[in-house]
Structure 1
Amino acid sequence: MRSLRALPLAVWMLALMLLGIVLAAAGVVLFSHWLPPWLAALLSVAVTGVVMALLVWRALVPLRALFRALAGTVAGYRDGDFSFGIRWDGHADVRELVDAHNALGQALREQRVNLVQRELLLDTVVQNTPVAMLLLDPLQHVVLGNLAARRLFGEGRKLEGRHFDKLLTQLPDTMRDALARGGDSMFSAGEEQDIFQLTRRVFRLNGRPHELLLLRQVTAELRRQEVRTWKKVIRVISHELNNSLAPIASLAHSGRELLKRGKLEKLPLALDTIEERARHLERFLRDYAHFAKLPAPRIEEVDLRSFIERLGTQVEFVLHGPLPQRRVLFDPAQIEQALLNLLKNAHEAGGDPAQVRLGWQLHARGWRIEVSDRGAGMNPAALEHALLPFYSTKRSGTGLGLALAREIAEAHGGHLGLANREDGGLRVWLVLAADAPAMS
């Protein structure tokens, strides 16, 4: 019977039709011996119909069981249970449906296993990260709190289900105020004044708004960076002081010997060198002082043409393009200092001095001032670190020129950028807010 059920449905239907015809004809011949022809035909059709119905019912019983099994597995898939499978040895036409259904179940099982593994990995990362994480629902109840959050907010106890406002009551005042204010911030809290970085993000989860709070302690990292910065500052200052004080001491000793021997004709050269090194040291210390104590810009309306002319008396450059005709607001002393640094760097880049250009244009974000040269440009590593304080590619550089210019640009609500030119050289642009607010 199993081999017969494995036949295609079309063959089954044809066989049943032929069987019905044969049974009806045989019934007419059989019953016509005892009954009138019309009654024999009617009885033959009735008996044939009953026999055919029984055969069809017998053939459909496995299909009905299959449909119930398919419905049960679909219900299991809907509930997240992918462990079911179906075996079918019946009609070949239906076997394709069963095989496709089993393949779907296998794919869903594999996806479920992969998803569970990823969830376990994500949960391990979330629970063991040193960043305190709190997920709040729309009613400000804690949905998720990792181990760092438990230690920080709940003394190691679980936080899920607790109201966020109740957690705040157990925190130091500075931390409570920072969390209650909303938004991202950085603050110090605790008896040891630990520094924390707070990040807040709102997103929709299951169609409802949720808030994620990330609280990271950055005290150790900031202190390490501070120590590294101070060490670098000390090395730079020591290097510059030694470069100036050593020749000054040597020349002072030489000058004393020249006086003893009466060779006064060489004394002016020694004194000139001492003066040059002393002035270099003075400029070096002044630049450091300016960088460390840059005052807030004093914004005023500046006559741009007079400003450019005064700048041209101190350093050589070619004005590229016409100057804007509208009013310009900035701190003239600070912008002059920034442009002097940029223009001097352009002259020291090794290109043609006549190719040092300065352009001043109005862009969407404000005034764009660009200084360009035809020197050697910078390699990628130098471009990446050029704006960092104390970084310099020059042997005698302090590494403060570009850093000070960036500080001035940011104080004016703008920024500083630099890039290599296609045909050689470097271009540095300084962007200022078009209408910077006056500051005192």
Structure 2
Amino acid sequence: MRRSVAGRLLFWLLPLLGGAIVLPLLLLEWLPDPKLAGLLSALLLVPLALWVTSRALAPLNSLFRALAGSVNTYRDGEYNFGIHWRGRDDLGALVKAHAELGEVLREQRQGLVQRELLLDTMVQNTPVAMLLVAAGGDGERRVVFANLAARKLLHSGWKLEGQRFDELMAAAPVEMREAMLRGSDSLFVIGNEEDDEAFGEAFVEEQVYHLSRRQFRLNGRSHELLLLRLLTNELRRQEVQTWKKVIRVISHELNNSLAPVASLAHSGAELVRRGRHDRLEEVFATIEERARHLEGFIRGYARFAKLPQPLLNTVDWGHFLAGLQRQIGFELEIPGDGASSRIDQAQMEQALLNLLKNAHEAGGEDASVGVKVTRLPGWLRIEVLDRGSGMNDSVLQNALVPFYSTKRNGTGLGLALTREIVEAHGGRLSMHNREGGGLCVAIQLPDAG
């Protein structure tokens, strides 16, 4: 049967209350003075009451001390402290609830430790070098955290925490130091001189890194997270794939041009042998046509590979697009208050002519091919619109990849060159199908105001 704390105290105090009533009556039998009987009763009952109360409260005091000690251990992160209470009363229920709380806290602590250990293992074993830098009380930026990759990259595997970031960068390669000073995400290349044991010569091994940086505030302090990722192997794989694609495309074009030329040369020799010189002009014209096609193909690749840095000047889009309209037809929609950008006029003309030519080849007439200029906050959006058949998802995903073409005689360089020009101007190029059919190719460029 479960007893309450009040019942426990009552169990101890009831005999004392009975004695407080009976004892004065008994003393009156012996002592004629009621005051003396009352005083003597008090002298006997008060010490007894104190003793009974201390006996009754002793287990409670012990329990409360144990609970206080247990709470202190919880505060320190230790949850293995247990309390035993034999009574089946309210205090027993309290002890049981306290034990259940300790078990929950212990399980949560173990889960937190496991997650923290898992996260630390992932961070320490990632190939990306991670540095967390924060300003200290002396104003100096110091390394707060560094994983194993960062230690190997910057300090030969030694601990970095607590070191001054400026001193660390002073000992780093100059390319990394310059990338850090730029204050934004960037790519940089570090050249490491190594010895070739086979030939006994030194060569420079270039390592390409990508720097990402993010800033945030934690506990009132400014922190910066720096991520250094080695891209050399990935870029080499992509470079090999690109070269394979280039070689495949060039081989295809060379075969398409040289095979007919070889065949025509053989036919021309046969015509000469038979004395039919009247047919030679046709043979030579075809050979010339294939040679010019091959020359144009090679010139296109050279133009893509040798695209110069844009020479920027402020250009009014109204006048610029009006000049394009005299070369190729399209409908123009432009804000009434005008729009301007800092662009290389020759390069941007080449980019837009590529897009407009594609729009017309998609099946659009002059009336259905349009250019729309829209002003966005800090940007200008130039859209080339057509009402052709559009592109399926596969073509849309690969349309901007160099050397990718769905045209029979296409080189796959038109859109790639256009994107290269746009990105060199600090802009971006995107494509999507239009509702009702057709394609929208959008260029976003910084607004010159």
Q: 1:326 to 1:267 in 2, by over 3 A?
A: same
Letter of the aligned partner of 1:70 in structure 2?
A: L
Letter of the aligned partner of 1:7 in structure 2?
A: R
Query: 1:102 corresponds to which residue?
Result: 99
Letter of the aligned partner of 1:326 in structure 2?
A: G
Q: 1:216-253 CA deviation, whole Å, 9 max, x = no partner?
A: 43333333322222222222222222223333443454
Query: 2:439 corresponds to which residue?
Result: 426
Shift of the alpha carbon at 1:358? 1.7
Letter of the aligned partner of 2:22 in structure 1?
A: A
Aligned counterpart in structure 1 of residue 7 of structure 2, from 5, 8, 11: 11
Provide the identity percentage: 55
Q: In the alignment, is residue 26 of structure 1 matched against residue 7 of structure 2?
A: no
Contact kept in structure 2, 1:127 and 1:146, CA below 8 Å: yes
Q: 1:64 to 1:395 in 2, by over 3 A?
A: farther
Look up the SS of the partner of 2:29 in the other structure. Answer: coil
Aligned counterpart in structure 2 of residue 112 of structure 1, from 109, 114, 118: 109
CA-based RMSD: 3.7
Query: Could you tell me how far apart the structure 1 residues matched to 2:314 and 2:328 are?
Result: 23
Query: 2:344 corresponds to which residue?
Result: 331
Counterparts of residues 58-73 of structure 1 (less than 5 Å): 58-73=55-70
Q: 1:68 to 1:378 in 2, by over 3 A?
A: farther
When normalised by structure 2's length, the TM-score is: 0.79
Q: Return 181-190 or 410-419, whichever deviates more.
A: 181-190
Q: Return 291-300 or 246-255, whichever deviates more.
A: 246-255
Query: 1:242 corresponds to which residue?
Result: 255
Q: 1:276 to 1:367 in 2, by over 3 A?
A: farther
Q: 1:265 to 1:307 in 2, by over 3 A?
A: farther
Letter of the aligned partner of 1:416 in structure 2?
A: L
Query: Could you tell me how far apart the structure 2 residues matched to 1:385 and 1:97 are?
Result: 68
Shift of the alpha carbon at 1:428? 1.0
Shift of the alpha carbon at 1:107? 2.3
Shift of the alpha carbon at 1:102? 1.9
Contact kept in structure 2, 1:305 and 1:323, CA below 8 Å: no
When normalised by structure 1's length, the TM-score is: 0.81
Aligned counterpart in structure 1 of residue 192 of structure 2, from 181, 190, 193: 190
Q: In the alignment, is residue 357 of structure 1 matched against residue 370 of structure 2?
A: yes
Shift of the alpha carbon at 1:166? 5.9
Query: Could you tell me how far apart the structure 2 residues matched to 1:301 and 1:209 are?
Result: 39
Letter of the aligned partner of 1:110 in structure 2?
A: E
Look up the SS of the partner of 1:188 in the other structure. Answer: strand
Q: 1:377 to 1:36 in 2, by over 3 A?
A: farther
Query: Could you tell me how far apart the structure 2 residues matched to 1:274 and 1:303 are?
Result: 45
Counterparts of residues 262-411 of structure 1 (less than 5 Å): 262=276, 268=282, 274=287, 277-300=290-313, 302=315, 304=317, 307-319=320-332, 321-322=333-334, 324-326=336-338, 328-329=340-341, 330-349=343-362, 354-411=367-424
Query: Could you tell me how far apart the structure 1 residues matched to 2:331 and 2:182 are?
Result: 52
Look up the SS of the partner of 2:102 in the other structure. Answer: helix
Counterparts of residues 90-169 of structure 1 (less than 5 Å): 90=87, 92-135=89-132, 138=136, 139=140, 144-159=145-160
Q: Return 177-186 or 286-295, whichever deviates more.
A: 177-186
Structure 2 residue runs of 5 or longer lacking an equivalent are 194-203
Query: Could you tell me how far apart the structure 2 residues matched to 1:152 and 1:132 are?
Result: 7
Letter of the aligned partner of 1:227 in structure 2?
A: V
Q: Return 349-358 or 93-102, whichever deviates more.
A: 349-358
Q: Return 413-422 or 16-25, whichever deviates more.
A: 16-25
Q: In the alignment, is residue 79 of structure 1 matched against residue 76 of structure 2?
A: yes
Shift of the alpha carbon at 1:376? 3.3
Structure 1 residue runs of 5 or longer lacking an equivalent are none
Aligned counterpart in structure 1 of residue 31 of structure 2, from 35, 48, 68: 35
Contact kept in structure 1, 2:318 and 2:338, CA below 8 Å: no
Query: Could you tell me how far apart the structure 2 residues matched to 1:398 and 1:52 are?
Result: 107
Query: Could you tell me how far apart the structure 2 residues matched to 1:43 and 1:273 are?
Result: 142
Letter of the aligned partner of 1:338 in structure 2?
A: A
Contact kept in structure 2, 1:335 and 1:408, CA below 8 Å: yes
Q: 1:423 to 1:94 in 2, by over 3 A?
A: farther
Look up the SS of the partner of 2:30 in the other structure. Answer: coil
Q: Return 31-40 or 65-74, whichever deviates more.
A: 31-40
Q: Return 333-342 or 82-91, whichever deviates more.
A: 82-91
Look up the SS of the partner of 1:294 in the other structure. Answer: coil
Letter of the aligned partner of 2:189 in structure 1?
A: F
Shift of the alpha carbon at 1:84? 1.0
Look up the SS of the partner of 1:33 in the other structure. Answer: helix
Query: Could you tell me how far apart the structure 2 residues matched to 1:68 and 1:405 are?
Result: 79
Q: 1:308 to 1:420 in 2, by over 3 A?
A: same
Q: 1:173-196 CA deviation, whole Å, 9 max, x = no partner?
A: 555665677765413132124324
Shift of the alpha carbon at 1:24? 3.1
Q: Return 347-356 or 371-380, whichever deviates more.
A: 347-356
